[in-house]
Chains A and B, each alone.
Chain A
Amino acid sequence: MLSRVADSLFWMSRYVERADGILRMLKINYASSQDDVQEFSWRPVLKIFTYLEDDKIAMLQHNTRGVLIYMVTDKENPNSVLNIVTQARENARSVQDHITKEMWQCLNDFYHTVRDEKLAPLLLKEDPITILDILIKQGLVYVGTTDVTMARGEGNSFINIGKFLERAIQTTDILDVKFSVLNARDIDAPSDTTYWKYMLLSISGYELYLRTYRGGFEAKNVVEQIVLSEDFPRSVIYSVNQLHRYFERLRGDRNNAAFDHLNFIIGKLKSRIKFSTPVSIMHEGLHQYLYETRAGLVEIGNTLTKNYFS
Chain B
Amino acid sequence: MQTSELLQSYLVDANTWDEMYKDASVREQYKKAVEFLQQLSIEELNKKEELAKKLFMSQGITFTVYSSGEGIEKIFPFDIIPRIITSSEWDYIEKGIRQRLKALNLFLKDIYSNQFILKDGIIPTEMIYSCPHYLREMYNFPVPYDIYVHISGIDLIRNSDGTFYILEDNLRTPSGVSYMLENREITKRIFPDLLPNNAVRSVTEYPNILYRNLVSLSPRQIKNPTIVLLTPGIYNSAYFEHTTLARLMGVELVQGSDLVVDDHKVYMKTTTGLQQVDVIYRRVDDEFLDPLVFNPGSMLGVAGIMSAYRKGNVAIVNALGNGVADDKAIYTFVPAMIRYYLNEEPILKNVPTYHLDRPEEREHVFNNIESMVIKKTNESGGYGMLMGSAASSEEIIKYKGEVLQNPREFIAQPIISLSSSPCYMNGKLQPRRVDLRPYALFGPDGIEIVPGGLTRVALREGSLVVNSSQGGGSKDTWVLG
Contact = CB atoms under 8 A, between A and B. Distances in A.
A139 to B, nearest CB: 16
Interface string B198-239: 000000000000000000000000000000000001100001
B271 A96 contact: no
28 contacts: A2-B252, A2-B268, A2-B269, A2-B270, A2-B271, A4-B255, A4-B257, A4-B269, A90-B234, A93-B60, A94-B233, A95-B253, A96-B246, A96-B247, A96-B253, A97-B251, A101-B247, A105-B58, A105-B59, A105-B60, A108-B58, A108-B59, A108-B60, A112-B58, A250-B271, A254-B272, A255-B272, A308-B271
A283 B158 CA distance: 85
B188 to A, nearest CB: 15
B246 A2 contact: no
Contact of A97 (B246, B255, B269): B246
Interface in A87-103: 90, 93-97, 101
A109 B55 CA distance: 11
Interface residues of A, number: 25
B160 interface: no
B57 A93 contact: no
**Which A-B residue pairs are the 7 nearest by beta carbons?**
A96-B243, A254-B272, A97-B246, A97-B247, A108-B60, A255-B272, A3-B269
Interface string A121-151: 0000000000000000000000000000000
A3 B70 contact: no
Contacts of A250: 271
B258 interface: yes
A1 interface: yes
Nearest to B64: A93
B254 interface: yes
A308 B57 CA distance: 34
Contacts of A1: 270-272
B281 to A, nearest CB: 13
Contacts of A75: 70
A108 to B, nearest CB: 4
B359 interface: no
Contacts of B268: 2
B242 to A, nearest CB: 9
B18 to A, nearest CB: 38
B60 A255 contact: no
Contact of B271 (A3, A94, A104): A3
B360 to A, nearest CB: 53
A109 B58 contact: yes
A96 B271 CA distance: 18
Nearest to A94: B234
Interface string A1-16: 1111010000000000
Interface string B246-279: 1100011111011000000000111111000000
Given A75-B70, A96-B247, A97-B246, A255 B59 contact: no
Nearest to A4: B258
Nearest to A99: B247
A215 interface: no
A97 B272 contact: no
Nearest to B268: A2
A174 B239 CA distance: 39
A104 B62 CA distance: 13
A190 interface: no
Contacts of B254: 2
A192 interface: no
Contacts of A96: 60, 243, 246-247, 253
Contact of B57 (A95, A112, A252, A255): A112
Residue with the greatest number of chain B CB neighbours at <10 A, chosen from A2, A154, A308: A2
Contacts of B233: 94
Interface string B109-126: 000000000000000000
Interface string B59-85: 110000000001001000000000000
Nearest to A154: B271
Interface in A1-42: 1-4, 6
Contacts of B58: 105, 108-109, 112
B270 A93 contact: no
B468 to A, nearest CB: 20
A6 B271 contact: yes
B326 to A, nearest CB: 29
Contacts of A104: 59-60
Contacts of B269: 2-4
Contact of A254 (B247, B252, B273): B273
B252 to A, nearest CB: 6
B243 A97 contact: yes
A160 to B, nearest CB: 15
Contacts of B251: 97
A185 B282 CA distance: 64
A90 B60 CA distance: 11
A308 B254 CA distance: 17
A198 B266 CA distance: 56
A252 B458 CA distance: 55
Contacts of A254: 272-273
B272 A252 contact: yes
Contacts of A154: 271
Given A96-B246, A97-B243, A97-B252, 5 more contacts: A1-B270, A1-B271, A97-B247, A101-B59, A105-B59
B77 to A, nearest CB: 18
Contact of B273 (A90, A109, A112, A255): A255
Residue with the greatest number of chain B CB neighbours at <10 A, chosen from A1, A97, A154: A97
A103 to B, nearest CB: 11
B46 to A, nearest CB: 21
Nearest to B246: A97
Contacts of A97: 243, 246-247, 251-253
Contacts of B60: 93, 96, 104-105, 108
B340 to A, nearest CB: 43
Interface in B42-66: 57-60
Interface in A203-235: none
Contacts of A2: 252, 254, 258, 268-271
A171 B383 CA distance: 55
A277 to B, nearest CB: 37
Given A4-B258, A94-B234, A97-B253, A255 B271 contact: yes
A254 B252 CA distance: 20
Contacts of A4: 255, 257-258, 269
Contacts of B234: 90, 93-94
Interface in A138-183: 154
A75 B69 CA distance: 11
Nearest to A304: B271
A252 B272 CA distance: 8
Nearest to A254: B272
Nearest to B229: A97
